[in-house]
Amino acid sequence: MTAVDLSAIRAQLAGITPGPWEFVGPDIEQCGEVFGTVIENSVDCGSYCYGGSVKQEVKPEDAAFIAAAPSTVAGLLAVVERVEALASAWEARGEHDMKFSKTIPDEDIAMHLLTEGASMVENARHIRNAIRGNA
C-alpha cells in the first residue's frame, strides 16, 4: 500500500508558478540566447527583443514539482484505486445482503438487512460519483 502525504502535495502545489503552463520545447533560442528545455506559463513578463513574451527558466520549486509528478500521480492513482475497491466491496456486500434478506423468515430482520444493503449500494454510488466529479 502506497502512503500519500496530501499535506506535502498541497504545499508543493502552493509553491509553484501559477499556470497554465506550456511546454515550449528543447533548445529555444531568443535573440541569440539559447535556453535549455523551457516550460512557459501564461504570466505576461513584458517585452523581450521584438515584443514577445519572455521564456522563463524553470524556478527550483517548479522543477521539484515536475520531477515529483510521476510519483505523486502514481500515489494519488493508488489512493483512488483503493477508494474504488472499497466502493466495489460495499456494493457487492450490499447486493448480497439485499438478496439474502429474501431468505430470512423474520420480517424485521429481513427488512433491516434489505435497508442496510440498499444503503451500502447507495454509499458506493456516492463514492463513485465523488471520484468522477459528479458529486
- pLDDT of 123 reads 96
Contact 17, 39 (CB under 8 A): no
pLDDT category of residue 135 using cuts at 50, 70 and 90: low
The reply to whether 13 falls in a domain is no
- pLDDT of 34 reads 47
DSSP state of 17: P
- Other beta carbons within 10 angstroms of residue 113's beta carbon come to 20
Low-confidence winner among 27-31, 57-61, 82-86, 122-126 (lowest mean pLDDT):
27-31
pLDDT category of residue 62 using cuts at 50, 70 and 90: confident
134 and 74 both lie in a single domain: yes
105 and 134 both lie in a single domain: yes
89 and 134 both lie in a single domain: yes
The reply to whether 78 falls in a domain is yes
81 and 131 both lie in a single domain: yes
28 and 88 both lie in a single domain: no
134 and 73 both lie in a single domain: yes
Model confidence at 57: pLDDT above 90: no
The reply to whether 135 falls in a domain is yes
Question: Collapsing DSSP states into helix, strand and coil, what is residue 52?
Answer: strand
What is the extent of the structural domain holding 86? 69-135
49 and 89 both lie in a single domain: no
The reply to whether 2 falls in a domain is no
- Between 133 and 1, the higher pLDDT residue: 133
84 and 47 both lie in a single domain: no
Burial class (CB in 10 A: 0-12, 13-18, 19+), 40: buried
Count of structural domains, the chain: 2
Question: How confident is the model over 3-54, as pLDDT tens digits?
Answer: 677 788 888 888 887 777 665 555 545 544 544 445 554 444 444 433 344 4
The reply to whether 10 falls in a domain is no
Model confidence at 71: pLDDT above 70: yes
State the average pLDDT over residues 65-90.
90
The reply to whether 112 falls in a domain is yes
The reply to whether 16 falls in a domain is no
